[in-house]
Amino acid sequence: MKPLVEMWIYLAAMLALSHLVVVEGHARSSLERRRAIQPRELYRTMARSRTGWQVVDVRPELAEGYEESHVPGAIPLPGCDDGRAPAPARARILKSVPTVVVSARGDEPEVRTCLSRFTLARSLAGGMEAWSEARLPEDSGEYAPPSAKAGGGCL
């Protein structure tokens, strides 16, 4: 009888610890959403890591700025609406990948909406405006998925 009681105590402890891990993960994710990433911090992360952040550009209209200039490797998702994204971009948007949401100035309503779509997401502090003011590299033109060839990095 004693081994059965010990097993139930062990299972209850494991269940309690698992619950704490889930709660902590949710709290961390919620805090991350409130803390914007600075342009230079994002640039350093992108430059040193091949598995860094997915960058999603949510400026409402592609003509409003994406084709003129965007963060290198950014995936266009106008207004955070899949239906408005170019077809090749839709398959590239992954909800479980750490994501940075880029808007014009970093404080638009679509940013808050879009942050909740991803498991781990942050906004770009100051948006594309701050990225440009920091004189960081920019791309222009229509969206083209990254090349599948070796060395197809964005920076």
The residues pairing with 75 across neighbouring beta strands, listed in sequence order, are 56
Q: What is the CATH number of domain 36-133?
A: 3.40.250.10
In the predicted structure, residue 55 carries a pLDDT above the cut 90:
yes
Nearest Cα neighbor of 127 from 64, 37, 63, 21 is 37
User: In terms of pLDDT, which residue wins out, 2 or 26?
Assistant: 2
For the chain, the domains span 1-34, 36-133
Nearest Cα neighbor of 59 from 145, 116, 118, 127 is 127
pTM: 0.73
Nearest Cα neighbor of 103 from 83, 132, 82 is 132
Residue-level pLDDT at 137: 94
Residue-level pLDDT at 64: 62
In the predicted structure, residue 149 carries a pLDDT above the cut 70:
no
